[in-house]
Amino acid sequence: MPKFCAFIFCICFTVAQAQNSTRVTFEVERDSIKKNFFLKQLGNGYFPTKYFDFDLRYLVKYNQFEGLRTGLGGVTNKNLSEKFKIDGYTVYGFRDDAYKFSIGGHVRLSKPTDTWLSASYTDDLQETGSSKFLTDTRFFQFFEPRLLNIDLFHRHITQTLALKHNIHPKLSSILQFSNSNVEPTYSYIFELNGERFTKFQFSTATAALQWSPFNKLKNVKDLPKEMKEGYPKFTLQYTRGISDIFKSDFDFSKLDFKTIHRIEYKNKQLSEITLVSGIARGDVPLTHLYHAYPNNINKETILQRFSVAGITSFETMFFNEFFSDKFATLQFKHFLKPFNITQRFRPQLVLISRFAIGDLNNPERHQNVSFGSLRKGYTESGFEINKLLFGFGLSFTYRYGGYHLPNFEDNIALKFTFNITL
């Protein structure tokens, strides 16, 4: 009998230890999942809390017009509701001594097709000549280097109604209607049919499509989930400006296209090709024209122009140097295999070449500003050595071809790069 009791005790002790070990393993796995989720959200630019995710994009920024810009923003998360979201932000610019804000609401109409109806109200600044694709996924950088040197902004008060819908798991769409009251922060006159405009009212309808035919999908709980991005990707967007609706001033149309292709090699090298183009027709003020994403400061020496390189910007092209109503840019990057010097020190060499071409009809309409065209074709090439120290590296770019400048130093851009992965 004592032997039998001892045997039973051993079995109970073993089971208890196994349960305790399982519990510990479960706790470790759960903590690991929480940590991975937190780091993923942080990498996407969010600081998650139980019901609200703070948007890190609005904490601290700097540009030439606002100076230091700081504020708070964020969005409700699934713990509050999976059927609706509320997002918004408020920021303050110290140099212009002005508050800006946005508030928006989103209601999900269909889960299988990820269909959302959204409405928003925004009072903020936007860079003149910038163009955004509505279907672009969120992209976050700890700091955005181009913002440091932008000085040409227009203020806009915009009301927007949008419908987002996945036509197919690999084909997403957005239909948006907006009304904007726009006022440049710089001295600018748009002359049209003898009338001189210094403020603009726009009513626009925009339809955008993004096709990702090579994405790898998997059904999770009967819903398609992206497992791996495939390339190339294609984006097409059409915008129509309509006059005499909500006091809109102008009739115009814009057609924008973008494709990105990546080629991965077996030796861990990578090539990336990006083509972006746009054409605007009708009565289009400078605020809604195109620039070619310049990122060079208008200063005399190389060291005075020393700043931080962007990811898709033309590093030798000066801010406000060119504007177009039709343009195309082609960018090529080749990422060599990182140099395996030590486990933590693995710098990477990236070869870069960029090309832009464009033109502008009726440049005389745009008064009190000075800029050129891109009809001769703009070229620059160079390289980056990334992740030399704490995510920082160096970039060297040289401008040549049709817009090569007489002073040799003016064709050179030497800058920091910044790349960090969580």
Q: Which residue has the tokens 């390289």?
A: 383
* pTM (two decimals): 0.86
pLDDT > 70? residue 146: yes
Output the CA–CA distances (angstroms, integers) from residue 253 to 133, 164, 240, in the order listed.
15, 21, 5
What pLDDT digit, counting tens, does each position of 211-266 carry? 999 999 888 877 788 888 899 999 999 999 999 888 898 999 999 999 999 999 98
Higher pLDDT residue, 387 or 4? 387
What pLDDT shows up at residue 27?
A: 52
Give per-residue pLDDT as tens, 316-358: 999 999 999 999 999 999 999 999 888 888 899 999 999 999 9
**Residue 270, Ramachandran bin (φ over 0: left; ψ between -120 and 50: alpha; else beta):** beta
* 8 A C-beta contact, residue 121 and residue 155: no
Mean pLDDT of 61-77: 93
pLDDT of residue 35: 66
Residue 2 has pLDDT above 80, yes or no: no
Grade residue 6 by pLDDT with cuts at 50, 70 and 90.
very low
Residue 411 CA to residue 413 CA, distance in Å, equals: 7
Kindly report the number of other CB atoms within 10 A of residue 22's CB atom: 10
User: Tell me, what's the pLDDT at 32?
Assistant: 63
Closest by Cα among 283, 280, 320 to 298: 320
Residue 368: phi, psi to the nearest 5? 75, 10
CA distance 17 to 35: 27
Which pLDDT does position 422 carry in this prediction? 53
Q: pLDDT tens digit string along 380-409?
A: 999 999 988 888 899 999 999 999 999 999
Q: Which amino acid is at 267?
A: N
Nearest to 90 by CA among 99, 81, 78: 99
pLDDT tens-digit readout, 298-320: 888 888 888 888 888 999 999 99
Phi, psi of 418 (to 5 degrees): -140, 120
Report the chain's mean pLDDT, rounded to a whole number: 88
Count of C-beta atoms within a 10 Å radius of residue 7:
10
Can you point out the beta strands (E) in 43-131?
46-48, 52-55, 60-63, 67-76, 84-93, 98-110, 115-127
Q: For tokens 């925004």, what's the residue?
A: 122
> Residue 142: is its pLDDT beyond 80?
no
Phi-psi region of 137 (alpha: psi -120 to 50; beta: other; left: phi over 0): beta
158 vs 204: CA distance, rounded Å: 11
Q: Report the number of secondary-structure helices (H) and strands (E) in the chain.
A: 1, 25
Q: How big is the CA angle at 59 (ends 53 and 63), to the nearest 5 degrees?
A: 140
